[in-house]
Chain A
């Protein structure tokens, strides 16, 4: 636990290599750390700081700004119920109340068995499908209290584990830029001329 694993260091270097300045990789690397440990540890932030050439305080400064990064363990399933206007108009407050009763916890906390964390999220860009929620950032639309019960049952029973990875993993598919196709990132200080295709002629 803690510092990035060998495999993740390799991935981290690949990600850093895509940016003209290494610091730009900070947020993607924080996601990588959270994917590894389920939350972002101090050791991981120190490691990321070494990799991108920042201080660990700077990395924590960045990380703490963003809602998705957690600095202590959260449940395996993070349930985010949207509470902004469109969802609120369509019953999100009642849905949250139901979730609190069902899980026996208050919004913002985690069940004793470490399985579920319940949060109120802000607008999730599914406003026509209100009320909506996300479990580890996977959508459920037009959710009724009954459907929420079924969802919690399914998550508890593990029947959705192939569709919804444990908290920390967001996208399961990564970008890979093949070496023979990559233009490569260049530090802006080293570029002094216009791109070659801006010569007043067609490129093809």
Chain B
């Protein structure tokens, strides 16, 4: 049993919306070169090669293609950060999708690998990148097979390799695959892993990949979905791209909604406009909370994101509004909890994830994440005390000093603390271990209080007299 409009794209619902990156999902053979060529495939590449590279870079800049991996930085600007005159430059494709709740890059790799390859070619041409490494998560066997097949087909047909389509543009795309480590999704850790090392993040500065990346060279790390946008952009132009969505969040976005909804699914939504209420309750999306239950809370942007409650349902998919409200859009992953949810236990499933995935480089994350997991486990098992709840905040403070972002809540009478947080760690894994338990404790304190052991003191009564 799988959900979705089509069995071959598990969980994906097309609906009646613009499709920038999912237009071929309707075909059962969407991953073949034959189907790709029959549906405008590699046309964007041809259009790109017929113009000077800097014009293509400008086109991407003008379209404001936001990075779809989590940080949301515009791809065209990212390419512009590379220093002039330093060669070679590399392209590393981040297909290491593993943020809890995120399910979109795998679909794009399994269902339309040629679209991703064409995106890589366009990016490499525009930014002058000499070699491309396509890093796919180790556990994704089918995605690796589909991309390998597509690369083999595209090499044979002259779309990759020496003098592509008879032009002076040449590029090798090398399929690389990981071996199971969440932190490798962080771009500097991805580069470490690609160099054959333990996937531990590098300190920024000096290791900003655009200046000092793979083998110490300027390197662009782009997410799969980001690159998959480029063929459509070249075929239709920046003006058509920005006509979808809003000025600050143009185009579409792949969003996965999972958990306690009637119809969990992956949707390509209009960026900046679609609200969380649309997504959770809309007929074309998730069709409401399961069993007619009330909504208790939802994670708006992947497991790392502070939680929202029904108070935030009317926010649109727009970073400039979600940030001040206390969370982030992250990787387009929404996890929904209905009124029956055991909140401390739900928070534990996320905190445990980040504690488990800590690479061990930074002490606050290595020790703090594990502490948080242990304390929370104790509380969930009914063995926690008052002191444990205070300790959670204390450990959190050592990972992220100062006020940690959270949503406002009318009933509790608390105001939002805006995103982002300050952090004592190199990357976001440590803060991400704290985010779920901090949100849960801030918004649902009574559920924790009900769980903890109240110590009864021995009554000391006067015995004399």
Residues of A whose CB lies within 8 Å of any CB of B are 18-21, 23-28, 30-31, 52, 54, 61-63, 65-69, 80, 83-86, 88-90, 121-130, 134, 136-139, 141-142, 147, 170-178, 180-186, 188, 191-198, 200-204
Contact = CB atoms under 8 A, between A and B. Distances in A.
Contacts, number: 273
Contacts of A130: 258-259, 264
Contacts of A124: 139
Interface stretch (B65-73, B145-153, B226-234, B398-406): B145-153
Q: Among B99, B100, B181, B341, which residue has the most Cβ atoms of chain A within 10 A?
A: B100
Contact of B105 (A63, A125, A194): A125
A181 B335 contact: no
Contacts of B53: 197-198, 203
Nearest to B198: A65
Given A84-B303, A84-B350, A128-B11, A183 B170 contact: yes
A182 B404 CA distance: 50
B378 interface: no
Given A86-B100, A125-B105, A188-B215, A141 B2 contact: yes
Interface residues of B, number: 99
A134 B139 contact: yes
B101 A127 contact: yes
Contacts of A181: 155-156, 158, 160-162
A173 B148 contact: yes
Interface string B99-135: 1111101100000000000000000010011110000
A158 B215 CA distance: 46
Interface stretch (B189-197, B237-245, B363-371, B426-434): B189-197
A125 B178 CA distance: 15
A34 to B, nearest CB: 9
Given A128-B265, A204-B167, A27 B257 contact: no
B3 A129 contact: yes
B10 A122 contact: no
Contact of B1 (A24, A142, A197): A142
A137 B155 CA distance: 27
B298 to A, nearest CB: 11
Contacts of B336: 89
Interface in B178-217: 178-182, 193-200, 215-217
B95 to A, nearest CB: 10
Given A85-B299, A174-B148, A202-B51, A66 B161 contact: no
Contacts of A121: 139
B168 A196 contact: yes
A85 B179 contact: no
B49 interface: yes
Contacts of B350: 84-85
A173 B145 contact: yes
A202 B52 contact: yes
Interface string B32-52: 000000000000001001111
B175 A203 contact: no
A138 B168 CA distance: 41
A18 B172 contact: yes
